[in-house]
Amino acid sequence: MNWRTYFYNGTKIHEYENHGKFSISKCYKALREPIAQVRLKRLLCNNKASPKSLFITWLDVLNKLATKTRLAQWNLISDTTCVLCNDAEEDIQHLFFNCPFLSDIWMQCLNLLGISRRPMAFLDEISIAASKCRRKSNRNQLYGMLFAEAIYNIWLQRNHQVFEGNHKLPDQTVDLILFNVACRIPDSMKKQLCR
């Protein structure tokens, strides 16, 4: 048996040929593991929201925010009850957007864009936001910005309640979200944010 007949793992070398010549790119693609497409790239990279809100959104998507459930897993706390509604366990799924107090914030943001629906499960909301951010219309850009700013401001309100014992009402939080978005968009897009 000729050593040129076989290559890596019993694969024949002619499978990596292109017009009779060995193709390094075909060989490389066969050797490496399949790469998963990053669906959230546009949501996080092409979003004009503030850097701090994009960072918190990134941590949230990766499930790395220090919610009470995560802190309990590290044996730092024992009570995992949501500080805002005192009704359920505080994890990413609950905070974004199952908590009645916090879901109202996202619902008001959706209403500003003319979308009348209740907030869905967090993973579904991420998928919707990521798909909208792929399109370049002003409305879709606003959707992505509002999503990231809502995540950030919801996390801020949760932290205000935990560390200071108070938080803003949903209407006040939505006003903050709108202000943050309006500061970062051109005047032509601002009329779409009027309440």
Q: What is the rounded distance in angstroms from the CA atom of residue 48 to the CA atom of residue 81?
A: 34
Which pTM value belongs to this model?
A: 0.78
Alpha helices for the chain (secondary structure H): 24-31, 41-45, 51-61, 68-73, 92-93, 100-112, 122-133, 138-164, 170-182, 187-190
Provide CB contacts within 8 A for 95, sequence distance 6+: 67, 82, 102, 154, 155, 158
Given this model, what pLDDT does residue 107 score? Answer: 94
Inter-residue contact 47 to 130 (CB < 8 Å): no
What are the boundaries of each domain within the chain?
1-35, 41-193
Given this model, what pLDDT does residue 3 score? Answer: 43
For strand 17-18 and strand 21-22, is the pairing parallel, antiparallel, or unpaired? antiparallel
Single-letter amino acid, residue 131: S
**Dihedral (C-alpha) 32, 33, 38, 41: value to the nearest 10 degrees?**
-20
Please report, in tens digits, the pLDDT of each residue of the chain (195 residues total).
444 444 445 556 667 777 778 778 877 877 777 766 556 777 888 889 999 999 999 999 888 999 999 999 999 999 999 998 888 999 999 999 899 888 999 999 999 989 999 999 998 999 899 888 888 888 899 999 999 999 999 999 999 999 999 999 999 999 999 999 999 998 888 887 775
Inter-residue contact 167 to 161 (CB < 8 Å): yes
Which tokens hold the place of 146?
């509002």
